[in-house]
Amino acid sequence: MKLLGKLDWSAVPFDQPIPLAAGGLVIVVILGVVALIVAKGWLPYVWNEWICSVDHKRIGVMYCTLAMVMLIRGFIDALMMRTQQSVAFQSPGYLPPEHYDQIFSAHGTIMIFFVAMPFVIGLINFVVPLQLGIRDVAFPTLNSVALWLTASGVLLVNMSLVVGEFSRVGWLPYPPLSELTYSPGVGVDYYCWGLQISGIGTLAGGINIVTTILKMRAPGLSYTRMPMFCWTALASNLLIIAAFPVLTATLAMLLLDRYLGFHFFTNTAGGNQMMFMNLIWIWGHPEVYILILPAFGIYSEVVSTFSSKPLFGYRSMIVATMAICIISFLVWLHHFFTMGPGGDVNGFFGIASMVIAVPTGVKIFNWLFTMYGGTVRFSVPMMWSIAFMITFVIGGMTGVMLAIPPADFILHNSLFLVAHFHNVIIPGVLFAAFAGYEYWFPKAFGFTLDERWGKAAFWFWVIGFYLAFTPLYIMGLEGMPRRMQSYDVPQWHMWANIATVGALSILCGILCMVAQLVVSIRTRDQRRDEYGDPWDGRSLEWILPSPPPEFNFAVMPNVTGEEPYWGLKEAAREHQRITRPVPEYEDLEMPRNSPTGFVCAFFAVMMGFALIWHIWWLLIVGFIGAYATLVVFSWRDIRERIIPKEEVARIDLENRAKRNLALQEGRI
Amino acid sequence: MGAITSRLRRARNRSAALLRALAVVSPIAIAGCRYDSVFTPVGPVGDAERIIILDSVAIMLAIVVPTILATVAVAWWFRASNRRAKRDPNFVYSGRIELVVWSIPALTILFLGGLTWISSHDLDPAKPLKSAVQPLDVQVVAMDWKWLFIYPDQGVATINQLVAPVGTPLRMHLTSATVMNTLFAPEVGSQIYVMNGMNGTMWWQVDRPGSYLGHSNMFSGDGFPGMSFEVKAIPPAQFAAWVGSTRGQGPVLDEAAYRQLLKQSSDLKPYAYGSVTPGLYDDIVRQKLPPGTGPVEAGNKNPFVRPVRSP
């Protein structure tokens, strides 16, 4: 047995300059950031206040940061794919198949698991406890473990850039292509272990949020008074708990095939590849709703706030959310109508898939009626929401087309399909994440983001989206399959070029977002959110100062109806001062920060790397380390730290004073 | 196919006017004008599927377009700076509107659901095509990365070329010697997954002579882009002549030749085998002949780290 298992110098792609240069650049940037932190003496702050933090707000911010960094990585992959298809007409292009296939696999994997998921989970983490009027989530340290396990998956997937290779079989590893026979390299192992580790994090996070919402709401905040975002977060995390174990089990079976010679999905010895497709989509279709339901929640908050009206048909929206939550488990087979299951099965699943369009349509109409009679302010979050409503119905329409089995027989796995799911995921999830980012940014950091750069980013994104994906619909109708590294059909070429222009426009959008962040930070003193309610909000997070103190609420709010903060604000406006009496402040107990999550993740990465490269001694070291971390954490003596009531009172009274001033001046 | 066509024609007539109106702006319609797409089918299967796509789009545009317009109109009319807009911040529930917003999508889906149920049965790929002409049997094997078409009754086989007599139903049995693929020709009709150790059935028919692009729509590895094939539709008499001139000529497809073919290769120019060992297809389906062995034997230096495609 070799000391380093399969690992040797042939793992580094010296023959491929692009991943080598990209990987080198990433390493330089990471080292640069670390060097800066150390040189400036920020290391204790970063370690104590962020890496070890169990504060749900900081964990939420870190999730979102992770997602935004990975969005750039995933987008660079997309840009490379589009440019390759522009130049690879009757030519091999600049990316050989070995590389191109890794890029589209990495693009899909990263965008779903490491952009959409952490963005949505980050916003849930940040917002839900604030909206529920509570001080933290149910299991704060588990929350930190979940974050760092997700980061471990990210690290492993990106490590494959320079050590070995990434999966080349697409974002879902369909066997038998992903089996050892047809993918003997380490790519699929990187994919599987990366997702297994981050999947445990996702599941832990899901359990945490569900427990929080079910058990920890502020007094009086009954289910039918919860903000819509909390409802959708609940639905989404219920889906995580139900669906993610299926993903873990499915990948575990594939790994058993690859590592121990099992035959779950192999061609030979009775393996059944169709079982994999069923299992992966039993996770995979609910996964779509795991992403889109919280996005619907964000849109509900934004549309209501910026129309200065409560959400129209609130109870109807709850019914629609939960209907989607349940039906999402009954449609998985529409991902493989072309497997030939026959008219009855295809018909059933086709109709079940269309039925989901009903509650989704209801939501669109309810947002429409929320705007009706309101006072609509076209701030950046609202613009993302309106662009979503317009664009998403088109994506929904092409989705219903694909749900008709005979139409799917000629559109399946073509670029039409690719265009469809980008048409629902980009406006559905990504625009929502951007809207949520703009909307809650002042709450997290105490100053608003620049509107002009935000609007510029918006227009580049939206125009770029249409330019990039309308051609893909057309190419799909012209019979172009997805995942083509090169092609020689002349009529596809022009559309491929237009799509590249669209991708470049999206690039401008991303650059504008970077500029927006830089400009906003530099001008933050002029854009301070003085008293914590910059958008004239309606739910409880806006009652807090921006950024909220570690303990969120000095006293637990007592909720007496829907939109509790709005009610208080109305009364305060009338009297031009806060009408709530000054409470009796008490000492607060908050969970202590802990390096458990980070240390756990360190050993998880070690184990993942050892498994990928068959370095068995390292695996044992990693396992012992992770286990020891658990033991040390479980035996800790001091679990909480006390925040003295003087500190609580100081923070709360300061915010009350600022709000009273703003009320007198008519700014609230 | 006649049944579905006539049943759908009524719906199509209703929606035709709307579709024509939208044809000017719809990108799908622009694509429809082009040659070589799913909108220029050359057989009954593709034709019926095209009608289903157009009908469903027309039905849905009838609700999607007003929704988009209403979104823009409502958002703009109720903009904060519009003094003429009547504000009603307490308008948060209306039973009538709830009824309507649930009914409109529900009714649309009810309608489309009927279309789905009927068409799923009528256009099931395994359902025999009705025709007075005796169907032609073709056995299809997906390989890394090429298509093998065996004509069991004629005793010939082709690589990357499906020679089809015009107007004759093709009764295709399909399997894979390697990973999953789909057999697909956009202008001809349906696609279906092919899998090792399994035997699928699909019917095609080409009514217009010509040469049409076919390929796998299911990504199958590094050589995937080089896995396209040609559907060559020729008059029946010419087909008989082609069989006559091919049989007994050229290479022989026996077990040894098949094992050679199993090795990974792509971008193969079409060619024909003049003789095929009887029962070869059955041996592949029953795995008496083993599946392809992937990139390991292709002379890779270190396939267990980063295999590269053999040249």
Q: How confident is the model at residue B34 (pLDDT cuts 50, 70, 90)?
A: very low
Question: Can you give the pLDDT at residue A225?
Answer: 95
Contacts of B178 in chain A (CB under 8 A): 176, 182, 267
Contacts of A347 in chain B (CB under 8 A): 116-117, 120-121
Q: How confident is the model at residue A248 (pLDDT cuts 50, 70, 90)?
A: very high
Q: Output the pTM of the full model.
A: 0.94
ipTM for the predicted complex comes to 0.92
Of B134, B129, B130, which Cα lies nearest the Cα of B240? B134
Of A177, A175, A195, which Cα lies nearest the Cα of A279? A175
The CA distance from B77 to the nearest CA of chain A, in Å, is 9
Q: How confident is the model at residue A301 (pLDDT cuts 50, 70, 90)?
A: very high
Q: Which residue of chain B has the CA closest to A88?
A: B225
Averaged pLDDT, A305-319 = 96
Asked whether residue B30 carries a pLDDT value surpassing 60, the answer given is no
Q: How confident is the model at residue B300 (pLDDT cuts 50, 70, 90)?
A: low
Say if the Cβ atoms of B124 and A13 lie within 8 Å. Answer: no
Question: Can you give the pLDDT at residue B15?
Answer: 46
| Cα A530 from chain centre | 29
Asked whether residue A626 carries a pLDDT value surpassing 80, the answer given is yes
* Contacts of A199 by beta carbon, 8 Å cutoff, 6+ apart: A153, A244, A247, A248, A251
Distance CA A470, CA A482 (A): 15
pLDDT per residue as tens digits for the range A52-71: 999 999 999 999 999 999 99
For B109, the closest of A309, A313, A358 (CB atoms) is: A358
Q: How confident is the model at residue A351 (pLDDT cuts 50, 70, 90)?
A: very high
Say if the Cβ atoms of A375 and B290 lie within 8 Å. Answer: no
Say if the Cβ atoms of A267 and B116 lie within 8 Å. Answer: no
Tell me which of B219, B284, B302 to substitute to probe the interface with A (most A C-beta atoms closer than 10 Å). Answer: B219
Residue type, A237: N
For chains A and B, CB pairs below 8 A equal 339
Averaged pLDDT, B143-162 = 96
pLDDT per residue as tens digits for the range B47-73: 999 999 999 999 999 999 999 999 999
The CA distance from B130 to the nearest CA of chain A, in Å, is 17
DSSP B218: S
Strand stretches in A245-307, DSSP E: none
Question: Rounded to a whole number, what is the largest CA-CA distance in chain B?
Answer: 87
Asked whether residue B14 carries a pLDDT value surpassing 80, the answer given is no
Run of H or E residues at A542: none
Share of chain A above pLDDT 90, in %: 90
The CA distance from B216 to the nearest CA of chain A, in Å, is 8
Residue B278, token pair as written in the block: 């009887």
The CA distance from A342 to the nearest CA of chain B, in Å, is 6
Question: Can you give the pLDDT at residue B81?
Answer: 95
Asked whether residue A18 carries a pLDDT value surpassing 80, the answer given is yes
The CA distance from A268 to the nearest CA of chain B, in Å, is 8
Say if the Cβ atoms of A365 and B106 lie within 8 Å. Answer: no
Distance CA B179, CA B176 (A): 7
Q: How confident is the model at residue B17 (pLDDT cuts 50, 70, 90)?
A: very low
Tell me which of A95, A182, A613 to substitute to probe the interface with B (most B C-beta atoms closer than 10 Å). Answer: A182
Say if the Cβ atoms of B112 and A358 lie within 8 Å. Answer: no
C-alpha distances in Å from residue A152, one per residue of A51, A156, A173, A386, A629: 13, 6, 20, 36, 16
DSSP A338: G
Say if the Cβ atoms of B305 and A394 lie within 8 Å. Answer: no
The CA distance from B250 to the nearest CA of chain A, in Å, is 29
Q: Which residue of chain B has the CA closest to A396?
A: B64
Distance CA A297, CA A376 (A): 18
Question: Can you give the pLDDT at residue B299?
Answer: 62
The CA distance from A205 to the nearest CA of chain B, in Å, is 33
Q: Which residue of chain A has the CA closest to B107?
A: A358
Distance CA B305, CA B163 (A): 41
pLDDT per residue as tens digits for the range A488-507: 999 999 999 999 999 999 99
Least confident range of A3-17, A179-193, A322-336? A3-17
Say if the Cβ atoms of B67 and A365 lie within 8 Å. Answer: yes
Q: Which residue of chain A has the CA closest to B89?
A: A309
For A406, the closest of B88, B119, B223 (CB atoms) is: B119
Contacts of B216 in chain A (CB under 8 A): 481
8 A C-beta contact, residue A112 and residue A105: no
Say if the Cβ atoms of A404 and B52 lie within 8 Å. Answer: yes
Say if the Cβ atoms of B53 and A407 lie within 8 Å. Answer: yes
Q: Which residue of chain B has the CA closest to A470?
A: B27
Q: Side-chain half-sphere of A135: how many Cα atoms within 13 Å? A: 13
Say if the Cβ atoms of B70 and A368 lie within 8 Å. Answer: yes
The CA distance from A369 to the nearest CA of chain B, in Å, is 8
More confident residue, A15 or B120: B120
Question: Can you give the pLDDT at residue B25?
Answer: 41
For B109, the closest of A354, A369, A412 (CB atoms) is: A354
Q: Is B100 exposed, middle or buried (0-12, 13-18, 19+ CB in 10 A)?
A: exposed
Averaged pLDDT, A8-15 = 85
Contacts of B190 in chain A (CB under 8 A): 338, 406, 409-410
Say if the Cβ atoms of A481 and B121 lie within 8 Å. Answer: no
For B120, the closest of A164, A183, A350 (CB atoms) is: A350
Question: Can you give the pLDDT at residue A439?
Answer: 97
Q: Is A205 exposed, middle or buried (0-12, 13-18, 19+ CB in 10 A)?
A: buried
For A13, the closest of B60, B223, B306 (CB atoms) is: B306
Distance CA B54, CA B23 (A): 11
8 A C-beta contact, residue A192 and residue A173: yes
For B52, the closest of A310, A355, A407 (CB atoms) is: A407
Contacts of A378 in chain B (CB under 8 A): 75, 79
Say if the Cβ atoms of B303 and A185 lie within 8 Å. Answer: yes
Residue A437, token pair as written in the block: 């980012």
DSSP A164: S
pLDDT per residue as tens digits for the range A254-290: 999 999 999 999 999 999 999 999 999 999 999 999 9
Asked whether residue A335 carries a pLDDT value surpassing 90, the answer given is yes
DSSP A46: I
Asked whether residue B100 carries a pLDDT value surpassing 90, the answer given is yes
Q: Which residue of chain A has the CA closest to B212?
A: A479
Question: Can you give the pLDDT at residue A513?
Answer: 97
